[in-house]
Amino acid sequence: MTIPVDRLSNAAVRAFVTALNANDEDAFRLALTPAATMSDDGSDRDLAQWTEKEIFSSRGHMEVESEKDEGLTLVARYRNDTWGEMRTKWQFTVEDGKVARFDTGQA
């Protein structure tokens, strides 16, 4: 069972996932703080390079299976044209209504 994106508890996370799934780079950037950071499988990555490769040029998409920590932690089936589908965990830090950091990796 999946959670519809419009039902995600945290508004900033909801905006992030909505933009990601729509492949909308402008909306995605608006969902982030100007100095947002991220990590993948425990290693910090360059946010612009990673999102271009793993989301936008490869048509990334999340189907959220569960959320906890008031919507700041998600488990999702994530797929893109490069890697196919995998079960992933996403943890978000939100500041002033925007995502300041996200950490993702295999669940």
- Domain limits, the chain: 5-106
CB crowding 56-87: b at 16 or more within 10 Å, else e: eeeebbbbbeebeeebbbbbbebbbeeeeeee
pLDDT tens string 42-99 = 999 999 999 999 999 999 999 999 999 999 999 999 999 999 999 999 999 999 999 9
Give yes or no for residue 1 having a pLDDT over 90: no
- For the whole model, what pTM was predicted? 0.96
Fold of the domain built from segment(s) 5-106:
Nuclear Transport Factor 2; Chain: A, (3.10.450)
